[in-house]
Amino acid sequence: MVVLAIVAVLTTLAVPSFTRLVQSNTMSSNVNTFMADLRYARSEATRRGGGVVMCRSDAPEAVHPVCDTTSGPGGHGWISGWIVYLDANNDGVIDAGDLLRIQSPIAKMDSITENGGDASSIFRFTATGRLFNVASATSLQFGGSAYAPDVQRVLCVNPGGRARIAGNGAASCGADSG
């Protein structure tokens, strides 16, 4: 009985720490995936002479995915997934063979939201790697109410198309972006 009591106490103490560890790892993984795809889109734009887009999509794995400028399912933003595609003629239409990357919906997080409105749901890069529309510069909040503020992350995208992590959920981007 004493051993069971000790195990119960240790389990009670360990579960919150384990939950926090899982959330922290989930956060890191998703922030890194987003930043990697954003950097990929930017580098492909410089390599191809512009016209590369990364946008939020409510159905990124559809046969013909499209960009969505709404707040996503349930208002949770980018967790619905995103796509990276070549838009050489700048018509906003994904032509056959132009899809470069697909990120399926993220099930392990509750939200990835931007503060820049509709313009921040599409990052279109020029040949120099800058954002075509400076209104796309924004900050993105990774994690919502299910995550403690010190586990959440704020990612900043500046008009130059560069992304950086500002810090935890209480951080702000400052003067370099949205």
Q: What pLDDT score was predicted for residue 129?
A: 93
Average pLDDT in the 127-134 region?
91
Average pLDDT in the 147-153 region?
89
pLDDT tens column, 101-117? 999 999 888 888 888 76
Highest mean pLDDT among 5-14, 72-81, 148-157: 148-157
For 98, the domain range is 2-176
89: which residues sit within 8 A by CB, 6+ positions away? 51
Domain CATH code at residue 130? 3.55.40.10
> Residue 177: pLDDT band by 50, 70, 90 thresholds?
very low
The number of domains in the chain is 1
Least confident of 3-12, 28-37, 123-132: 3-12
Q: What pLDDT score was predicted for residue 38?
A: 96
Beta bridge partners of 147: none
pLDDT tens column, 12-45? 766 666 778 888 889 999 999 999 999 999 999 9
Q: What pLDDT score was predicted for residue 71?
A: 61
* DSSP characters over 124-159: EE-TTS-BSSGGG-EEEEE--TTS-TTT-EEEEE-T
